Structure 1
Amino acid sequence: MSEQRDVIALSTINRRAFLRGGGIGAGALVIAASLPGMLLPTDALADGPPPGAAPPPPQLGFGAMIAIARDGVVSFICPSSEMGQGTQETLARYVGEELDCDYARLKVLLPWADPLFVNPMMRRQMTANSATTVGYFTALRKAAAASRMLLVQVAAQRLGVAEGELTTANGVVRHAASGRSIGYGDLAEAAAKLPVPAQVPLRPASAWTIIGGSTPRKDLAAKVRGSAEFGIDVVRPGMLIGALALGPHPRAKVQATNLDKVRTMPGVTAIVPVEAGYAVLSPRFWQAKKAAEALELKVLSSPTAGLDDKGIDAAMERAFASVPPMEFPDFDFATMRPKEKRADRAAITAALAGAAKRVEATYDVPYVAHATMEPLTCSAHFADGQLTVRGPLQSPEAVRTELSQVLNIPFDKVRVEVTYLGGGFGRKWGVDFPVPAAQAAIATPGRWVKLIWTREQDIAMDQFRPAYRVRQTAGIGADGRLQVMHSRIAGQSINTYHHRKSPPGIADPTAAGMLIYGCYGIPQSLIEYHETKDLSVPVGFWRSVSASQNTFFAEAFLDEVARAAGKDPLAYRRAMLAGEPRILRVLDKAADMIGWSKPKPRGTGHGIAITYNEGHVCAEAVRVRVVKGKLTIEKIVAAFDCGPMIDPKGVESQISGGIVFGLQAAIWGEIPFAEGRPNVANFGEFRMPLLADIPPIEVALMPSGERPGNAGEAGTPPIAAALVNAIADAGGPRIRRLPIARMLEI
């Protein structure tokens, strides 16, 4: 986004708005950046649009708040959701760097749904797609820098000196020549009355002291001490706790046949029909849970009735045979509006027919759950026509809209507040789980209600990563070079399930994106998607979305192509990446870290894979040992470049955490279906890695001069491909169907 489009508005916020906004304090200087025409009254910052106003469209702009109280303490309402990935720390560093405040005293507060909190890049208030660090990078820094400029302006007037004679540090404006200084808290009220500067220069990277440094995370102390409020921690006086009795599918229709009997059970306050089932409310969770388990549900209809794994396989085969494919074109990003580069089908067919050697393979991945540490939960309160929802939400804006529309409540009467998230990974982007909580609250007006999904329900009612099948064909020239590739993918569309529109005339990017890597410069390539339209399994965004499976398909198959050409897989990639120095640099680092060129004992193998986008490059390499069908992972390494790194320790944690997340899916992750239901109940069946399962992981951070990029999802995609490539290199089977535990003991 152009920096010239950022407009910064400052205003003195009243006591009511401060309290509603998170208890900042009265008389503070408040900074919000937005588009022209979006300068709302300060109460709107806390309460949303004026009463009776229509829901605002997504805005391109920034709306997080920075407040300076009279005691000099800076409070920052972080617009994004904190689910362990460190967004509070990252965005707070933007503020601290440009504001020059006392960073140790800067307070970070949790957000609520508000049109002024929109991510400028996403044009929504949501935490997904690793877009937080990049999306707020310019706008939030400019808001903080503008505030500092106004504080300096007031200080210059009071001290009777030129602004250029003043410096700032740790929340104080100083005049070195006279030894005088004034704290920000004494300047804030007057600064709020000044006009906004027309130009807001930002500090160059060479002058950064907080960004890129090492400080304790802002959310660390609260989480260690237990004072951080996660969704399941919400407690209010007189609160009812709800347990659920649910059907086999979120859109199933069910009917309880013994309601009257269950209503008489100890502690039962109410039984409320909600989406896909019933909520049983009680002052105590275990009483509610026992009563919910006693409900006998008759399934009237279910979108997955009778579905099993054979039916899923058959549906994908039917899609290949009968669903016309939709092309996912390559894109030329050299222009402001990327140009589509469509493939020549006839030329692809001819090139494959005339290739010196042809390689074909079919790859599969199953449905996979999110399995967040904190199961789904949400709290709600309804009184006097006002609905308030509080919970672990990745998309509070979408939740607010959904609640207004589904429950027929005026938009301005819906308030959505965000707690900490005990993991998200895309699952808590969903809007499905706040709705039952709101329905239960509406049925018991005046009392807070908290619904808690059990682990079994959290898995069974998940929005899974879709199962996909890919058929890939490659043509190799007489010189061993890859000349042509055709990849076809079948499986469900996430966009279709959620009634979202894909770009017209283009295959759903969540299914087909990056199925063939453009960075390799393959002379001719074609990606086609056969949407499996007769499957209705709940599907949704899973960490790294299409890259999570398509990197496995693309990078594992490329290894097969390299070996068919008689080439070393690393050397084969290097030759194809001659025009991609950034990617090549990262690939070489990972190869060096794993000791690619060193001799290996028999039964030991190395594998490597990359993932990339416009914001990052990640290469991962694995060393394994395969002996008599038993797999041992000896070491995993990663090299990573996402431009300047705001919080290097946080970046390293994201990459290593992403590797573990992807490792679970690659080795054990699978949701089988039987009789129309997921055939997995808890972690006994959906195995999670234990500490003893995790090999040594080394991460090399390679900051560069590129624009800031994303890190939260980058570690997950390459691990499955690197792992199966290493297994094949060690003399084990070429694994084309995940999870790996189907074929090898580990």
Structure 2
Amino acid sequence: MSIHSTSIHPSVSRRNFLAGSAAALGGLSLGFHIPFAGPALAQEAAAAPEINAWVVVKPNDTVVIRIARSEMGQGTLTGLAQLVAEELDCDWSKVTTEYPPPGENLRRNRVWGSYSTGGSRGIRDSHDYVRKGGAAARQMLISAAAARWNVPAGECTAASSVITHGPSGRTLRYGEVAEAAGRLTPSTEIALKDPKDWKIAGKPLPRLDTVDKLTGRQVYGADLKLPGMLNAAIKACPVMGGTLASFDANAVAGMPGVKKVVRVDDRSVAVVADTWWRAKTALDALPVTWEDGPNKDLSSAAIRRTLAEGLEAGDAFVGNSRGDAKGELARVAAAGGKVVTATYAFPYQNHATMEPMNATALWTAEKCEVWVPTQNGEASLAAAAEAAGLPVGQCEVYKLLLGGGFGRRGNFQDYVRQSVSIARQMPGIPVKLLWSREEDMLHGAYHPTTQAKLTGALDADGNLTALHLRISGQSILAAVRPEGMQGGMDPIVFQGLTASAPEGHLGYTVPNLLVDHAMRNPPVPPGFWRGVNLNQNAIYVECFIDELAHAAGAEPLAFRRKLMANHPRHLAVLEAAANGIGWQTPPAPGRFRGLGQIMGFGSYVAAAAEVSVVDGQLRIHRIVAATDPGHVVNPAQVERQVEGSFVYGLSACLYGECTVAGGRIEQENFDTYEVLRMAEMPAVETIMLPSGGFWGGVGEPTIAVAAPAVLNALFAATGKRYRTLPLKNHELS
């Protein structure tokens, strides 16, 4: 199937803490169990019966579908609801959703599975069990109706929230039998529909959260108001690794609205006031002394030198190897053959979510509650309990929709700990902590910086016989999740570069191949940034493949085709993108084209870009994207995700850069950390090629192909290779 659309447009780890806390509650089951009928959530208990953990049906036939994953603009909430509703066979017009609190998940043996939402896993990691939840609920509703009629359940069918007895034609609405259905034991044999028979899933249905966003009813964390709530503004030592030495609370105690000045942790101080602006104004006036610590002289130049040394280091972790790349490269060089070498670099980048970090906490000696926009409700719960000094069973987190996540609100729960620390010093009063934009920019978990040296050998016929890709730079896992390291190696560094892996592989067969990593970890905190390492890896590979094609005197698409004979899915999306841009026909005068492809997050993606350069100004006119995610749950949402991913990817390519001077990030707001403007956005065409048989991600993979497609088109336009990003640092001609 091909769908084509066009638009313009501190001491305890979280894991150990959760496991220990869950054990105190009766055990933590990590395996999935078919959803069971159990006690309803507090907000539904009096209003409607629960069919199972996923489905509540009210007497008026309203269907409440519970979603554990977080919604942050990517459409996961709607897509998961579509999958449940499809198997439930309910009336989509009566579907609504709610978040089950993560504390309830622990109390119910983790029936909703993982709450982590990142890595484009919202649907691809939960599609099976959420569909089973919907199918089990449908069977229970049918069984309840059959029991009322005293007929075999096999004689009954369900469609659009109505159960029909075939022989007699009698009908019952879901709302009429929901209470009885909720008392039944679900079958352990759950048959799921073939995707070709989908009527709700697979369709371009409107998102469930759009209306509330358009009308202003949607409450984000920054909007939340609770009775008697106070507001907190926070400031941490701007130098990475620095600490808070002292502050003079008396200097601001008499300022309007100020309630208290508190030490939050060893790095930060906060002012609590009746409004956030009064808190921020007092905080700006607060005399503070910082201990800058060991990193006060750190600079971008020093970091670049460290990484450059890694490019030539003798030892490195091997992520992919075939044949003898070094030997072949040496042989070709000694014989006077063609050896091509290039060095690329990718900078630090900030998540820069439109909604800065925030959380609202209410602490007493008996209970701690937190309202928070989070990508991982369970991680937020663990952080809240740790900061509260209470057992996890005496804490709860209420998830809110996120004004952007991009990885910042997942593994990193600093803002949750801070909010609880502040609330703990104001017992019985809800306190909302909201970071300023400057705090958000200065205290991120940044996309790591890397450099790459690529060396390739071409034989007399222009065939690529050897390729060595050396990456030098930071490991995210070493800093964030060291338990994920493999013998000291960070496998995530090699996203998109492996021979075969769930998170992506190269897509080219090279007789002699070596991909390795010289780990160099400067003290800038790294983090998972939307698309993670696939972003720079796609640039390194796809731009260098383009360089090799030109060095061989070959047409770039044809050169790639020869290397992709054993990778049909990679080739299919690449050719779809090329055909979509009109690769085989000349572009309009003054316009030039470029290609890029990669696999990541379980999906095959490619892009073709068309650009022009006039008077040193780059204009990106069109990008055609092709994606094969296996299955498409909502085509309209996939299209929007592709468009949004290009905004993110092109912003990084053109402008995104965090630099370091005096041990601190220099970019503190959007005036110095620019993003793509609407007028700069190219026309985007999305081609979907869902080949079935697997479930890939959507939100992140296509980010990676935006930059290489544009950079290769830029070479076609200028004859120059731009190997360091962002492009704002270069004069284009």
Give TM-score, length-normalised by structure 2.
0.90
AA aligned to 1:215 is L
Q: Secondary structure at the match of 2:258?
A: coil
Aligned to 2:507: 519
What are the residue-to-residue correspondences of 1:285-684 with 2, within 5 Å?
Answer: 285-302=276-293, 304-320=295-311, 324-329=315-320, 350=331, 356-429=337-410, 430-505=412-487, 507-515=489-497, 518-533=506-521, 535-600=522-587, 603-613=590-600, 615-684=602-671
CA distance in 2 between partners of 1:586 and 1:135 (Å): 23
Cα contact 1:604–1:729 (8 A) shared by 2: no
Q: Secondary structure at the match of 1:570?
A: helix
Aligned to 1:201: 191
Q: Report deviation, 1:205.
A: 1.7
CA distance in 2 between partners of 1:643 and 1:153 (Å): 33
Q: Report deviation, 1:347.
A: 6.2
How has the CA–CA distance of structure 1 residues 742 and 106 changed in structure 2, closer, same or farther, with 3 Å as cutoff? same
Cα contact 1:377–1:433 (8 A) shared by 2: yes
CA distance in 1 between partners of 2:67 and 2:113 (Å): 16
1:153 is matched with which residue: 143, 153, 164? 143
How has the CA–CA distance of structure 1 residues 120 and 210 changed in structure 2, closer, same or farther, with 3 Å as cutoff? farther
Q: Report deviation, 1:513.
A: 2.8
Please say if 1:714 is aligned against 2:701: yes
Aligned to 1:691: 678
Q: Secondary structure at the match of 1:11?
A: coil
Cα contact 2:70–2:115 (8 A) shared by 1: no
Aligned to 1:71: 60
AA aligned to 2:389 is N
Q: Report deviation, 1:599.
A: 2.1
2:94 is matched with which residue: 105, 111, 116? 105
Q: Report deviation, 1:456.
A: 1.5
Q: Secondary structure at the match of 2:262?
A: strand
Please say if 1:283 is aligned against 2:274: yes
Aligned to 1:139: 129
Q: Report deviation, 1:524.
A: 1.4
Q: Report deviation, 1:552.
A: 0.8
Q: Report deviation, 1:518.
A: 3.2
CA distance in 1 between partners of 2:288 and 2:128 (Å): 53
How has the CA–CA distance of structure 1 residues 78 and 24 changed in structure 2, closer, same or farther, with 3 Å as cutoff? farther
Q: Report deviation, 1:365.
A: 0.9
Aligned to 2:15: none
Aligned to 1:186: 176
Please say if 1:13 is aligned against 2:39: yes
Please say if 1:228 is aligned against 2:223: no
1:98-140 alpha-carbon deviations (Å, 9 max, x no partner)? 1112221111012422484899999742000111111111111
AA aligned to 2:548 is V
How has the CA–CA distance of structure 1 residues 689 and 10 changed in structure 2, closer, same or farther, with 3 Å as cutoff? same
Cα contact 2:371–2:400 (8 A) shared by 1: yes
CA distance in 2 between partners of 1:8 and 1:493 (Å): 37
Please say if 1:89 is aligned against 2:78: yes
Greater RCO (Cα-Cα under 8 Å, separation 6 or more): 2
CA distance in 2 between partners of 1:719 and 1:312 (Å): 26
1:113-172 alpha-carbon deviations (Å, 9 max, x no partner)? 248489999974200011111111111111111111121112112213222221212212
Please say if 1:28 is aligned against 2:19: no
CA distance in 2 between partners of 1:119 and 1:18 (Å): 17
Stretches of structure 1 lacking an aligned partner (at least 5 in a row) = 33-64, 331-340
How has the CA–CA distance of structure 1 residues 495 and 9 changed in structure 2, closer, same or farther, with 3 Å as cutoff? closer
CA distance in 2 between partners of 1:302 and 1:497 (Å): 19
How has the CA–CA distance of structure 1 residues 8 and 565 changed in structure 2, closer, same or farther, with 3 Å as cutoff? same
Cα contact 1:129–1:544 (8 A) shared by 2: yes
Q: Secondary structure at the match of 1:132?
A: coil
1:542-590 alpha-carbon deviations (Å, 9 max, x no partner)? 1111101111111111111111111111111111111222221211111
Cα contact 1:358–1:474 (8 A) shared by 2: yes
CA distance in 1 between partners of 2:529 and 2:366 (Å): 35
Please, what is the CA RMSD of the aligned residues? 2.5
* Range with greater deviation from structure 2 (352-361 or 734-743): 352-361
How has the CA–CA distance of structure 1 residues 80 and 608 changed in structure 2, closer, same or farther, with 3 Å as cutoff? same
1:158-196 alpha-carbon deviations (Å, 9 max, x no partner)? 213222221212212112432321122222222233332
CA distance in 1 between partners of 2:101 and 2:241 (Å): 28
CA distance in 2 between partners of 1:373 and 1:145 (Å): 38
* Range with greater deviation from structure 2 (127-136 or 240-249): 240-249
CA distance in 2 between partners of 1:31 and 1:342 (Å): 54
AA aligned to 1:583 is H
* Range with greater deviation from structure 2 (184-193 or 440-449): 184-193
CA distance in 1 between partners of 2:141 and 2:333 (Å): 67
CA distance in 2 between partners of 1:557 and 1:405 (Å): 47
Q: Secondary structure at the match of 1:670?
A: coil
How has the CA–CA distance of structure 1 residues 320 and 648 changed in structure 2, closer, same or farther, with 3 Å as cutoff? same
CA distance in 2 between partners of 1:588 and 1:295 (Å): 60
Q: Report deviation, 1:485.
A: 0.9
Q: Secondary structure at the match of 2:608?
A: strand
Please say if 1:246 is aligned against 2:236: yes
Aligned to 2:4: none
1:620-658 alpha-carbon deviations (Å, 9 max, x no partner)? 111111234322222111112212210100000001110
Cα contact 1:355–1:477 (8 A) shared by 2: no
AA aligned to 1:545 is V
Q: Secondary structure at the match of 2:369?
A: strand
1:476-504 alpha-carbon deviations (Å, 9 max, x no partner)? 12221111111111112111222523432
CA distance in 2 between partners of 1:154 and 1:355 (Å): 80
1:503-524 alpha-carbon deviations (Å, 9 max, x no partner)? 3236313323334753201111
Aligned length: 694
CA distance in 1 between partners of 2:283 and 2:732 (Å): 39
Give TM-score, length-normalised by structure 1.
0.88
How has the CA–CA distance of structure 1 residues 109 and 303 changed in structure 2, closer, same or farther, with 3 Å as cutoff? farther
Q: Report deviation, 1:264.
A: 2.3
Please say if 1:272 is aligned against 2:262: yes
* Range with greater deviation from structure 2 (360-369 or 66-75): 66-75
CA distance in 1 between partners of 2:239 and 2:70 (Å): 27
Cα contact 2:601–2:697 (8 A) shared by 1: no
1:177 is matched with which residue: 164, 167, 177? 167
2:119 is matched with which residue: 129, 135, 138? 129
CA distance in 1 between partners of 2:104 and 2:461 (Å): 57
Q: Report deviation, 1:408.
A: 3.4
Question: Identity, % of aligned pairs?
Answer: 33
How has the CA–CA distance of structure 1 residues 302 and 229 changed in structure 2, closer, same or farther, with 3 Å as cutoff? farther
Stretches of structure 2 lacking an aligned partner (at least 5 in a row) = 1-30, 499-504
How has the CA–CA distance of structure 1 residues 722 and 514 changed in structure 2, closer, same or farther, with 3 Å as cutoff? same
CA distance in 1 between partners of 2:640 and 2:580 (Å): 18
Please say if 1:734 is aligned against 2:707: no
AA aligned to 2:368 is L
How has the CA–CA distance of structure 1 residues 184 and 144 changed in structure 2, closer, same or farther, with 3 Å as cutoff? same
How has the CA–CA distance of structure 1 residues 712 and 270 changed in structure 2, closer, same or farther, with 3 Å as cutoff? same
